Structure 1
């Protein structure tokens, strides 16, 4: 028997049903412990913290640093717009999960056939595998700068596999782990930003899309691709079911999604502003080459003269926390959605999703290990390219999610409103334009 406090209602969970005990207050029963305000807040933020951990990975750190170094504060508005789109698609997924109380794979199969469900599952798996490659490189870069060794990713993947198969209540442990890592990230990158002392007026000017030149090259595409991740949004529909939320908890789920999106924006902006304050002036003065921005170890080393020896350590701690948190959750996104599409299971206690998640882990490790051992390419440049390329598969997922949440046969009276559809539609158009640019311009160069 479990107790859950949501929407002002305390429910006893017995299987899939929710029995209401009391409203706006906790039961006086001796076996029910009062829930503190912090405890209630933590319960609300579970899926949102998980979503933030996936978005804030090494890809977002490297691409944010690259964009900030090259353009200064001029592209701050891009982060804000990307996070708004991400927030809208997170809310679509939350509503889909709490209204249908079914897995997205089954809902898609019933609405459009199993083929589309499998196509979406394969697309999510592809995106997760591409991100996993970047996550492995990010974890390696964070540790290798202090203790050089080419095989760190093997050890860390082994720990991830132990996490994946070692806990019966996988989701509860995931929430706790991600809460700690998000806290470490916030402290680490806020510390770097405090030392960097960004110009507040330059930051405000960066909110204006017309205040500076914005070049939509691969780094900026990568920044959008690593912030506006619709595969992550789709997985939110699974997380709210794992949490036990239903229609009565709709407001909690939407609040959770928006807080998660805010956390993404804050951390991404802290990294970009630090880079804009520290590296952009050096780049303009010729004291730093563009190639240096594509080397994670050089990014960390550049902080040491300004921030002291602690600057490099703080950056690498934040990088490791971001990489390893995304490392675990990202593999689960690819594994769970594809397993669901193939009807191998869609719940944390089933073996199918865990096995498929392990495949994502091992595939990402294999490609990254090959790159590390052979020395092919620079890790940061490869991470940026991986993040940008994943946008190509995103329009299908976004269109499917938008279509499902507008069908009365799926959502009943909880279909999208006009404002939600307008913002989500613009987001879909942005993804289509980016995908076209990557496919027909960037990848053909």
Structure 2
């Protein structure tokens, strides 16, 4: 038992991955999928979690056994321009994640506001927040606060991030477990949802086809190739080597299972409390979801749900930009350690770029929930390049290091990323 507790105290990299992946995209997508399809797509979450575990374990093995960084290895084998493409793919994915994180901060803030009554007039706080100018300024202020924290924590930045992410993941577990408890889901519904099948219908009036955009966003936010790709850099940052691989596998299972568990809790809550009771398109922000849950939970629902969204947004916000900066600097051939000035400057650029994209969404008055689902779906376009890079580098790992079940799951994961990418492009162009 003491040995097991010692191992638990040393885990961390996959918890960071789970925290950055478990952002507003997972929360909004899971809520809306549960509301629209009930339990019918629940099986996608454990499948995506299994694929995520496999690819994360592979990326970790690359990090502990390969001297070169992932993008450095690509540059050595195929030339620096190809490494630029890999880094660019990561930057696209991270920018979309970061844009949705900015808007999620607004969703969380709105969740703490009083519901808006257009007949009686808006409360002052809600009215101020609804101003487009304020809605772009609030995330900008938060970005500058993160930038200040980044420059103030030059020493032991990774250790600070690791501990903070563990606390935020725990906060999300508590917040969404409370919602799940009061939703009172049925065991038969949960078990039936774990059997792979396509939705039979999302409304009482008829049969719906699968919403590829919503289900694709749900899979993409759980099976995040960008998060798995970064695992290789994390274990290098932590100083792990081949002897730490066994610990790393445990770490991966703990972190990714936490991610899958929370996503399932959110989806099940949406299925139990909102399916066939609330129109999915009405869930435009955190306060709208909370108001839909009010008949079950009372006024506390708004604060519990908003707290979970806020924890998810903050956890994803802090690390997400660092991930993009680290990989992009590596792709350019610059130092990729968190302590590097190049990484810090690039992180600032990623933060501001994400804010710009989010601000455009606010100024064009795109509903926040729709914006997040679209932004998260767009990330899957960049995922195949990252998945191919991981699978290619896995060939360089010493024989016997990777478990036998990893390779077939990696190829299945690559097929899923390609399918989601094609379907997303088709959905965006309206075909």
- TM-score (norm: length of structure 1): 0.86
| Aligned positions of 1:76-225 closer than 5 A | 76-145=42-111, 146=113, 147-148=125-126, 149=129, 150=135, 151-167=137-153, 168-210=155-197, 212-213=199-200, 215-225=210-220
Distance 1:182 1:416 in 2: 28
Q: 2:281 aligns with which of 287, 291, 296?
A: 291
Distance 1:443 1:185 in 2: 35
SS of aligned partner of 1:346: coil
Deviation at 1:53, TM superposition (A): 0.6
> Is residue 212–residue 424 contact of structure 2 (8 Å, CA) maintained in 1?
no
Going from structure 1 to structure 2, the CA distance change for 1:252 and 1:416 (only over 3 Å counts) comes to closer
Deviation at 1:117, TM superposition (A): 1.4
Q: 1:329 aligns with which of 309, 319, 324?
A: 319
| Aligned positions of 1:408-423 closer than 5 A | 410-414=396-400, 416=402, 419-423=405-409
SS of aligned partner of 1:411: coil
> What's the counterpart of residue 374 of structure 2?
385
> What's the counterpart of residue 425 of structure 1?
411
Describe the superposition over 1:45-91 as per-residue Cα deviations: whole angstroms up to 9, x where unpaired: x1111011111100110000110001000111111111111111000
Q: 2:240 aligns with which of 233, 240, 245?
A: 245
Deviation at 1:38, TM superposition (A): 5.0
- Structure 1: unaligned runs, 5 residues or longer: 1-23, 25-34, 283-287
> Is residue 121–residue 338 contact of structure 1 (8 Å, CA) maintained in 2?
yes
> Is residue 102–residue 354 contact of structure 2 (8 Å, CA) maintained in 1?
yes
> What's the counterpart of residue 122 of structure 2?
none
Q: 1:365 aligns with which of 355, 364, 372?
A: 355
Distance 1:415 1:43 in 2: 20
Q: 1:61 aligns with which of 27, 33, 43?
A: 27
Distance 1:212 1:441 in 2: 18
Describe the superposition over 1:125-172 as per-residue Cα deviations: whole angstroms up to 9, x where unpaired: 110000100000001110134244323212211221122221121101
Asked if 1:267 corresponds to 2:254, the answer is: no
Deviation at 1:413, TM superposition (A): 2.6
Distance 1:212 1:291 in 2: 17
Q: 2:336 aligns with which of 317, 338, 346?
A: 346
Query: Greater shift after overlay, 96-105 or 271-280?
Result: 96-105
Deviation at 1:98, TM superposition (A): 0.4
Distance 2:230 2:90 in 1: 9
Query: Greater shift after overlay, 116-125 or 139-148?
Result: 139-148
Asked if 1:403 corresponds to 2:392, the answer is: yes
> What's the counterpart of residue 254 of structure 1?
249
> Is residue 296–residue 379 contact of structure 1 (8 Å, CA) maintained in 2?
no
> What's the counterpart of residue 52 of structure 1?
18
Query: Greater shift after overlay, 432-441 or 164-173?
Result: 432-441
Asked if 1:75 corresponds to 2:41, the answer is: yes
SS of aligned partner of 1:271: helix
Going from structure 1 to structure 2, the CA distance change for 1:163 and 1:280 (only over 3 Å counts) comes to same
Deviation at 1:430, TM superposition (A): 1.3
What is the Cα-based RMSD across aligned positions, in Å?
1.9
Distance 1:89 1:112 in 2: 22
Distance 1:428 1:341 in 2: 22
Distance 1:65 1:419 in 2: 31
Runs of 4+ in 1 over 4 A off after TM superposition: 35-40, 414-418
Query: Greater shift after overlay, 337-346 or 145-154?
Result: 145-154
Q: How many residues align?
A: 402
Distance 1:433 1:40 in 2: 38
